[in-house]
Chains A and B, each alone.
Chain A
């Protein structure tokens, strides 16, 4: 994926600042915050723990697997998002609930409890021709490697 993104003529830009950090191979991975005092995890990252108000927090990589909590098929959206598309909330093992598009699955296969895998990848091209790096969910059993 990194080859694909660096090859884009306009360069790459993250969906939002601060949501990715490079892993050992230099590929972007989704990160959140862990409170060193109470252990709570948060996404997106934050300076103060919302549970115990400690400022002793660290940035940690989030799990790339989770369970589908709820979903919808969106039929009306803003021009940036061609419809229809599936949006889901996925529960990660750290106790973080994350919103993301679900792809690579037929709508009638979608149900709560479905095991999902999160992938950081190009999601669209912005108005300046840059590749936007975001994240999407796939059914866990489908391999993309």
Chain B
């Protein structure tokens, strides 16, 4: 089967930029990805755009500004996994033999769309009794603490690590490290989670250009192409019975599909960008992915195993907690970071000797299912 490579990456700074429309952010990311790939933009044959709240035909507005208008474009919505799903769709178009060079874009202008806590869809049953996204993760945190003895301090360390990493990333929303004390004394959002346990409201965009192995041979290449070895997507199953909320079967199933597709196991993963929308979320992700034993991540984290210099660096970019979380852009930005790391271009946050990277997203909530959309992308240098 056709192999798929990432040949170009682009990303805006994440944050709350005044006076920048979403299409403007998307355009910046796309133009940078084209420059990075060093290709004639007319070679791009199709595009996929992940976003959540940007309204109708948001992707087409970017195409119009970048001069790519006319090619097939599909807007993709899968909550916080939207960008990662856009990458998967782009890779499928290449694997199917329909296209050779495809753009995947993710973008979100969240500051103009809502304030406060994000909820499931308004007509969702659980949203109608008061569920917010922080609340669901707070309740999962409570279970992890009860089942495995995880402490409040250990949870806070996720935020401390990721904001420290973010301070090494010029594109991050947070540029300053925080202490455990600052995390646990920040404003309560949904107990036990406080403000610094939650990813921020962010605007931003990220883009990647994918290419078939056939076309790769015809491109002039200044940079090392990184292979997209797996792009797995699963949806949450309907919950039956009373499963533990301290473990993620959905993440496990998606990871198993990705490992099989890539022909690698969790032991071969050298760094991971995982969906740390909340501190507890990083714990659940890495344990669900099989990167750390179930229930042990908080202790391993405390020992520094997930630090940039540790055995398995987690979220060296700063993650959602530090880099920011413009919903639709997040899954693409994770892949941008992995490509930078695998090329050896990550500067002060470079993970030494990284060869295989994993990106995980998990988005959305609907009453009765364990989660809506989960993705795992695996990249190999």
Contacts of A70 in B (CB 8 A): 139-140, 142-143, 146, 245
Q: Give the chain B neighbours of A85 by CB distance below 8 A.
A: 130
- Mask: chain A, 108-138; 1 = CB below 8 Å from B; 0 = not: 0000100000000000000000000011000
Which chain B residues (125-150) contact chain A, with CB distance < 8 Å? Answer: 125-126, 128-132, 134-135, 138-140, 142-143, 146
Within 8 A of B (CB), among A79-105: 81, 85, 87-89, 91, 95, 97, 99-101
Asked, given contacts A73-B190, A74-B130, A99-B131, whether A19 binds B242 with beta carbons under 8 Å apart, the answer is no
- Which residues from chain B contact A91 at a C-beta distance below 8 Å? 242
**Helix, strand, loop or mixed for chain B's interface?**
loop
With A69-B242, A70-B142, A87-B135 in contact, is A75–B190 under 8 Å at CB?
Answer: yes
| Interface size bracket, A side | 20 to 34
Contact A87 to B130, CB < 8 A, known contacts A78-B116, A95-B241: yes
Residues of B within 8 A of A (CB): 116-117, 119, 123, 125-126, 128-132, 134-135, 138-140, 142-143, 146, 187-193, 237-242, 245, 367-368
Cβ-defined contact, A72 with B146, below 8 A: no
| Given A76-B134, A76-B189, A87-B135; A134-B140 close (CB under 8 Å) | no
Q: B245 and A89: CB pair below 8 A?
A: yes
Chain B residues with CB below 8 A from A69, complex form: 143, 242, 245
Hey, which bits of chain A sit against chain B, CB under 8 A?
15-16, 19, 40, 42-44, 46, 50-51, 69-78, 81, 85, 87-89, 91, 95, 97, 99-101, 112, 134-135
Residue of B nearest to A48 (CB): B238
Chain A residues with CB under 8 Å of B367's CB are 44, 99
Residue of B nearest to A72 (CB): B138
**Cβ B142 vs Cβ A43 within 8 A:** no
Min CB gap A63→B, angstroms: 13
A101→B135 CA distance, assembly (Å)? 12
A-B contact pairs, 22 of them (CB 8 A): A15-B128, A42-B368, A44-B125, A46-B238, A46-B368, A50-B237, A50-B368, A70-B139, A70-B142, A72-B135, A74-B138, A74-B190, A75-B187, A75-B188, A77-B117, A77-B130, A78-B119, A87-B130, A89-B139, A95-B241, A99-B126, A112-B142
